[in-house]
Amino acid sequence: MKSLRIFLLVLFVSVQLSAQTTTAPYYEIPKASNEASAGAVLSRMVDGLGFRFYWASEGLTEKDLAFQPSKEVRTTGQTVTHIYDLTKTLLSLTKTEFKQSKAKADMTFEEIRVQALLNLEALSKRFRASKDLQEFNVSQNGKVTVPFWNLINGPIADAIWHCGQLASFRRSTGNPINPNVNHFTSTVRQ
């Protein structure tokens, strides 16, 4: 009987832990492409964003999420949501079909965070597979209205900018990024 109780306890704890654990990409940056095509370079840029976002948003507390340096600035939680929105914009502009787990209004902070990382991974794969980045030009009536270059200086650069804000905000609340994160190599020292 004691063995059965121990077994059931271990089973219950295992189920609870696996229910709470969500696999998110970008703990470390994926292996670099062997080629330096335009698509591979853009993909790597998105991977770098994914790595920075992963660590800038990893382990944020309720105190961190509520932090707001001034009334004119988004809270940390609102900034994370804005980065998620930027990933959705990129999916839309590039016509990258990638199903969202649920509506944003129904997501928790962690679900928004993970979905943004999954969106970035989908975008990276799409860019890596591209033979010609011109396919990401947004056209209307045969005229380019948003050139693919604007993806870089627009939502991608904006999201990178906001990752820096997240890093700064969390230092202000006493919860800095893991010191073992190496942003140069996009790895984590053990």
Predicted confidence at residue 2, as pLDDT, reads 54
Residue 58 lies in a domain: yes
Mean pLDDT (whole number) for 82-110: 95
The percentage of the chain sitting over the pLDDT mark of 90, rounded to a whole number, equals: 79
Residue 144 and residue 34 in contact, taking contact as beta carbons nearer than 8 Å: no
Does 130 reside within a domain? Answer: yes
d(CA 103, CA 105): 5
78-98: average pLDDT: 96
CATH number at residue 146: 1.20.120.450
User: Could you list the residue range(s) of the whole structural domain that residue 78 is in?
Assistant: 36-188
Domain tally, the chain: 1
> Whole-model pTM?
0.86
- For residue 16, being part of any structural domain is answered with no
Give me the pLDDT at residue 4, please.
41
Q: How far is CA 130 from the centre of its chain?
A: 21
Instruction: Judge whether 1 lies within some domain.
Output: no
Instruction: Compute CA 166 distance to the chain's CA centroid, rounded to the nearest angstrom.
Output: 12
Collapsing DSSP states into helix, strand and coil, what is residue 158? helix
User: Domain for residue 154, yes or no?
Assistant: yes
